[in-house]
Amino acid sequence: MMLATPLTSTEFSTLRRFRTGKVRDVYDLGDALLIVATDRISAFDYVLGSGIPDKGKVLTQLSVFWFAQLAGVVPNHFITTDVAKYPAAAQAYAADLAGRSMLVRKTAPIDVECVARGYLAGSGWKEYQQTGRVCGVPLPGGLVESDRLPAPIFTPATKASTGHDINISEAEAARHLGNPALVERLRTLTLDLYRRASAHAESRGIILADTKFEFGLTDAGELLLIDEALTPDSSRFWPADQYQPGGPQASFDKQYVRDYLEAIKWNKQPPVPSLPADVVERTRAKYLDAFERLTGHPLSL
């Protein structure tokens, strides 16, 4: 099958660029922000030389699905994905924006990543091996990699503009923000969102091992869920029928790309490699599979 050309950059010259992230380009439209999810893919803190066709559409449309599913837990920043309802200046770029962009409310982002973990994986597994804890949370002894935790835990992290985010304890998050009450609220919301999303995912044959959320405050002080929600970029999704604790799991996220980069022994320094066609196609298929399983309908291409 011939794949579409990935969209790896945006150049909307008549719009004011607000920020360029590893995957998203954000434009300031005055009263709102325009978030455009490109097809860039990052691994080991670098954007790779190859894009994954339609990846940005998966990220946007899956986030919109979850925003609707979870709106009863906490309001979010989402306004619309209907390009016809965007400001006139943005409509000139409709071909690039369709299916992969959203208009959102402006907030002041809270400078802490809110991570929920229901399983022992990734940096949590590494920390547990050394200390028996994850972000200061003590866990039972004898757990193995990918074990389900007795109960989901809240493990915040500081957001890094470059490099890895740094895991911190809840007490450290309270000191970092100078607002213990806000951190308590974030913990409650994060775990509630995780439990509800996890239950839906399990009903679709998918384990939500962990995920991260971002929150922001409006000028009026309203707390909103922002950025993306429960995508293969921000979450670990595992097929439930292949789950076997005691090691790494098959996944719907970009672990397949990381495994390829490890196999070619890339030293995780520039120059950044490109991905062969079969890895691109397989990664795209994983993202699409996750989307269709979770939402129950095909991606709008």
Q: Which domains does the chain have, with CATH numbers?
A: 109-242 (3.30.470.20)
CA dist 162 and 22 (Å) reads: 10
Sort strands 16-20 and 24-28 into parallel, antiparallel or unpaired: antiparallel
The mean pLDDT of 41-65, rounded to a whole number, is: 95
What average pLDDT does the chain have?
95
User: Quick one: pLDDT at residue 1?
Assistant: 56
- The model's pTM: 0.95
User: Are 173 and 156 spatial neighbours (Cβ–Cβ below 8 Å)?
Assistant: yes
User: Quick one: pLDDT at residue 301?
Assistant: 84
User: Quick one: pLDDT at residue 161?
Assistant: 61
Strand partners, 117: 153, 210
The mean pLDDT of 258-267, rounded to a whole number, is: 93
The mean pLDDT of 23-36, rounded to a whole number, is: 97
Please report which confidence band the pLDDT of residue 292 belongs to, taking 50, 70 and 90 as the band edges. Answer: very high
Of 293, 294, 260, 292, the closest CA to residue 54 belongs to: 292
For residue 205, pLDDT beyond 60: yes
The mean pLDDT of 244-269, rounded to a whole number, is: 92
Neighbours of 125 (CB within 10 A): 18
Strand partners, 24: 37
The mean pLDDT of 179-192, rounded to a whole number, is: 98
Share above pLDDT 70 across residues of the chain, in percent, rounded to a whole number: 98
For residue 10, pLDDT beyond 60: yes
> What backbone torsions phi and psi does residue 157 show, to the nearest 5 degrees?
-145, 150
User: Are 81 and 62 spatial neighbours (Cβ–Cβ below 8 Å)?
Assistant: no
The mean pLDDT of 262-277, rounded to a whole number, is: 94
For residue 188, pLDDT beyond 60: yes
For residue 162, pLDDT beyond 70: no
The mean pLDDT of 122-146, rounded to a whole number, is: 96
The mean pLDDT of 65-76, rounded to a whole number, is: 98
Please report which confidence band the pLDDT of residue 45 belongs to, taking 50, 70 and 90 as the band edges. Answer: confident
| Of 233 and 256, more confident | 233
Of 294, 300, 265, 253, the closest CA to residue 42 belongs to: 253
Q: Helix (H, G, I), strand (E, B), or coil: what is residue 68?
A: helix
The mean pLDDT of 172-193, rounded to a whole number, is: 97
Which contacts of 219-222 are long-range, i.e. CB under 8 A and separated by 24 or more positions?
Answer: 222/75
16-20, strands of its sheet edge to edge = 16-20, 24-28, 32-37, 101-105, 78-80
For residue 138, pLDDT beyond 90: yes
> What backbone torsions phi and psi does residue 264 show, to the nearest 5 degrees?
-85, 0
Q: Residue type for 138, please?
A: P
User: Quick one: pLDDT at residue 296?
Assistant: 97
CA dist 147 and 118 (Å) reads: 9
For residue 2, pLDDT beyond 80: no
DSSP code for 161: S
CA dist 14 and 106 (Å) reads: 20
Q: Which of 94-98, 159-163, 176-180 has the lowest mean pLDDT?
A: 159-163
Ramachandran category for residue 122: left, alpha or beta (phi over 0 → left; psi -120 to 50 → alpha): left
Ramachandran category for residue 93: left, alpha or beta (phi over 0 → left; psi -120 to 50 → alpha): alpha
User: Quick one: pLDDT at residue 4?
Assistant: 83
User: Quick one: pLDDT at residue 49?
Assistant: 93
How many CA atoms lie less than 13 Å away from 220 in the CB half-sphere?
A: 3
Q: Which two tokens stand for residue 31?
A: 């009263």
Strand partners, 213: 114
For residue 73, pLDDT beyond 70: yes
The mean pLDDT of 222-247, rounded to a whole number, is: 97
Q: How wide is the angle at C-alpha 139 spanned by C-alphas 134 and 145, nearest 5°?
A: 75
